[in-house]
Amino acid sequence: MTALLQEYVVPSDVQYWHSDAPLVLEQGDVLPDYTIAYRAWGGLSADADNAVMVCHALTGSSDADVWWKDIFGEGRALDPSHDYIVCSNSLGSCYGSTGPASVHADGARWGARFPKLTIRDQVRAQMALADALGIRRIQLVIGGSMGGLQVLEWALLDPDRVGAIAVIAASAFHSSWCITWSATQRMSIQADPAFKGGHYAPEAPPRSGLGIARAIAMATYRSHDSLRLRYGRNSGAEVFGDRAKSPEDFAVRNWVAHHADSFVSRFDANSYLALIDAMDTHDVGRGRGGVDAALASIRAPALIAAITSDALYVPAEQAYLCDAIPNARLIEVASLHGHDGFLIDASRMDVAIREFRAYAAACPQGHPSFHQETASYA
């Protein structure tokens, strides 16, 4: 089981499922066994057909009720009074599921020895969890960012079980733009002398390199207007008051430093590399005759959500998904907050997701579609 980092507080209802069956990975390696940490809300129906699978973002956890609280709860898009909601920590992460921070059979951490993963590997592990939970039918698979990449693979790998998908702030393949940002973060970690080729001791991680990687990532998650309106050129004291770490410095520098410093205490560097490497492999068309052919084969109704100010997974990528998936609807979520708008302004998606779920429930696969319909939510 993963050695959880000290600043990550594990909710009391996190559960662990262990597979003794090996997982054959897409790039040829084999995980002899693995553990998936997950949380579940609501109850599975007698027909085992009311499941909702939630897929988290890059550094997320299984705490969907925390990071997506605005669409979670009775009467909202994710409603435990009707749904059996499951959110698992992705394979390769460090919040309970098997990854580089987990203990190997030899008693030491996997570390840099951990095999290379793809998004498809992560989804196959999630599918095995769903099997173990007795889930026969999944009403909805939903996720944003890395989670959105997984959602697409769910639709392609498990089409008979998945009833509908919601892909938020994600793309059909990792663009050269996204790969570039992954590369800069990877370089910052690997350049830290403490990294030692990934063979660092748990008590002496590459804090500087990982902190810089997080700072780079935070810049890609927000927008020009988001930072201008929140911080401008104000000082730390003007924005944060007594909480400012550097009161005389720019407030936005305080913000960047805060995220870098807090992140290194709650995440593992090798796990971070494993996840961004997996994201860079993302290409729904690999081995399926190309991207267009793969997307055209998706049978489930699809809700595609674009964040209007997203500069990482740009809205044109969601428009492409909507054009290529046979039964797709595109919504534009008005947000100043860039890519992170899928979390910060999640409440603006709630109505659209509820409407989509009602449509998907009433319109089984193969029925007339709402292809290329677009709506805006502010």
Radius of gyration of the chain (CA): 20
* C-alpha dihedral (245, 247, 252, 256), degrees to nearest 10: -20
Beta strand spans in 256-371 (E): 302-307, 328-333
CA distance 290 to 146: 20
Out of 310, 340, 345, 350, the active site residue is 310
Could you tell me the CA-to-CA distances from 317 to 152, 169, 309, 348 in Å, in that order?
Answer: 13, 9, 13, 20
Please say if 145 is a catalytic residue.
yes
Residue 297 carries which side chain, given as an amino acid letter? Answer: S
> Hey, is 364 helix, strand or coil?
coil
Residue 168 pairs in a beta bridge with 144, 305
User: DSSP letter at 194?
Assistant: G
- Catalytic site residue 310? yes
Q: Furthest-apart CA pair in the chain: how many Å?
A: 61
Q: Is 82 a catalytic residue?
A: no
Nearest to 1 by CA among 88, 95, 87, 90: 95
Q: Which of 56, 174, 337, 339 is catalytic?
A: 339
Catalytic residue among 62, 93, 145, 335: 145
- Contact between 211 and 198 under an 8 Å Cβ cutoff? The reply is no
Residues acting as catalytic residues: 145, 310, 339
